[in-house]
């Protein structure tokens, strides 16, 4: 079984059937839904940077969406979505949340948000959700993780791979949507980049400053995720990237150009590791140190799309400069 060995001894994941059903046809499945053309949706992470945008997109397309949040009273979600209380770490409310659902989005990450070991929390949350999804008969789970690293990866990237392995046991159809930096006004990675350029006209440039990555606009990620709800027989891995492959130095320079600022002077140094970099980043950006450190630890890994997504998914992504312009305009609203 794919995923064997990734679940700790105190987390039980029961698997009663193969993860993928052979020759499963999506259209007959759709014909049995409450709406004859659209599946019912469970959205977790609806108050997050991607989840909030995805909720608006799904509602705009006419989907029935149930949003699971930990604190419904303060969620502030738009009219048109059913809101239920649920917590993947405690398991509270998962049965109600997953009942009569066809497609579930898992957009939950514990890094920088939950107390304790984020890897253990993510493992536990994924196992609880997979068990609930399987018990409820959910047919498809869509998870947003990271692009696969060629090397051993950071703790952050390894955790996302582990979460995907666990979630893949929860439904006959599992889709791991993968992206590197998401360029959006409220994205943590983009916030960190923006504030570094704004606040450090001169900065040290460790080796990872030349690492290549493929940033993608939040708009393009959301469009791809929405399309995957009804995409017939999607591949298990869907890699999402923008139009450009850039180093972090390139991104800082292009950001400065779009934002009409002077490009930062980057002084190369050979010894500043991503881990050490996280210490000075915490002093010049507003990103929570618990979130910034694992993000920066992953900067040494090249994250680019190696297998293009299928037709109809992210066909015409924005360039980095276009994505930055959109994020800056969004942040001013």
Which CA distances in Å does 3 have to 7, 76, 139, 271?
A: 8, 36, 19, 36
pLDDT band at 200, cuts 50/70/90?
confident
Digit-coded pLDDT (tens) for 112-140: 455 557 789 999 999 999 999 999 999 99
Name the pLDDT band for 153 (thresholds 50, 70, 90). low
The better pLDDT of the pair 23, 211 is held by 211
Average pLDDT, the chain: 83
Q: Given a cut of 80, is residue 106 above it in pLDDT?
A: yes
User: What is the distance between the alpha carbons of residues 308 and 315, in angstroms, rounded to a whole number?
Assistant: 9
pLDDT digits (tens, 9 = 90+) for 261-295: 999 988 877 765 656 666 666 667 776 666 666 66
Give the pLDDT mean for 291-301.
67
For residue 196, pLDDT over 60 is answered with yes
pLDDT at 20: 32
* Domain 188-211+245-302+317-328 coded CATH 1.25.40: no
Residues in the chain: 333
- On whether the CB atoms of residues 111 and 290 are closer than 8 A, the answer is yes
Q: What is the pLDDT of residues 212-253, one digit of tens each?
A: 999 999 999 999 999 999 999 999 999 999 999 999 899 999
Range with the lowest mean pLDDT among 27-31, 36-40, 121-125? 27-31
Q: Which of 94-108, 160-174, 297-311, 319-333 has the lowest mean pLDDT?
A: 297-311
Output the pLDDT for position 192: 84
- CATH 3.90.25 in the chain, residues? 188-211+245-302+317-328
pTM, entire model: 0.84
Radius of gyration of the chain (CA): 20
pLDDT of residue 12: 44
Q: Specify the pLDDT at position 63.
A: 96
Measured CA to CA, the distance from residue 177 to residue 324 in angstroms comes to 22
Contacts with 174 (C-beta within 8 Å, 6 or more apart), sequence order: 19, 20, 140, 141, 143, 164, 167, 168, 236
- Above 80 in pLDDT, residue 155? no
Q: Are strands 140-146 and 173-179 parallel, antiparallel or unpaired?
A: parallel
Q: Which fold has domain 26-180+215-240?
A: Rossmann fold (3.40.50)
Among residues 101, 98, 105, 94, the alpha carbon closest in space to that of 143 is found at 105
CB 296 within 8 A of CB 272: no
Average pLDDT on 16-34 reads 36
């Amino acid at each position: 079984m794919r995923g064997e060995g990734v679940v700790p001894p105190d987390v039980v994941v029961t698997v009663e059937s193969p993860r993928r059903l052979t020759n499963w046809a999506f259209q007959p499945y759709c014909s049995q839904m409450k709406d004859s053309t659209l599946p019912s949706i469970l959205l977790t992470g609806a108050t997050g940077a991607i989840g909030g945008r995805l909720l608006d997109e799904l509602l705009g397309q006419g989907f029935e969406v149930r949003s699971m949040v930990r604190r419904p009273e303060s969620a502030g979600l738009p009219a048109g979505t059913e809101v239920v209380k649920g917590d993947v770490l405690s398991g509270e409310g998962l049965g109600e949340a997953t009942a009569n659902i066809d497609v579930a989005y898992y957009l939950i990450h514990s890094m920088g948000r939950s107390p304790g070991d984020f890897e253990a929390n993510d493992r536990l949350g994924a196992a609880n959700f997979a068990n609930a999804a399987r018990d409820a008969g959910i047919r498809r789970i869509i998870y947003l993780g990271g692009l696969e690293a060629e090397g051993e990866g950071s703790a952050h990237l390894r955790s996302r791979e582990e979460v995907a392995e666990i979630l893949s046991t929860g439904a006959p159809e599992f889709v791991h949507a993968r992206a590197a930096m998401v360029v959006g006004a409220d994205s943590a990675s983009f916030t960190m980049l923006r504030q570094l350029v704004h606040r450090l006209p001169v900065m040290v440039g460790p080796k990872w400053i030349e690492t290549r990555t493929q940033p993608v606009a939040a708009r393009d990620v959301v469009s791809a995720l929405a399309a995957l709800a009804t995409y017939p027989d999607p591949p298990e891995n869907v890699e999402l990237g923008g139009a450009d492959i850039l180093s972090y130095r390139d991104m800082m320079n292009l950001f400065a150009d779009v934002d009409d600022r002077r490009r930062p002077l980057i002084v190369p140094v050979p010894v500043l590791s991503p881990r050490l970099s996280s210490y000075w980043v915490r002093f010049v950006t507003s990103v929570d140190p618990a979130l910034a450190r694992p993000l920066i630890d992953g900067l040494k890994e090249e994250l680019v799309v190696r297998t293009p997504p299928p037709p109809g998914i992210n066909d015409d992504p924005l360039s980095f400069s276009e994505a930055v312009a959109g994020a800056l305009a969004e942040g001013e609203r």
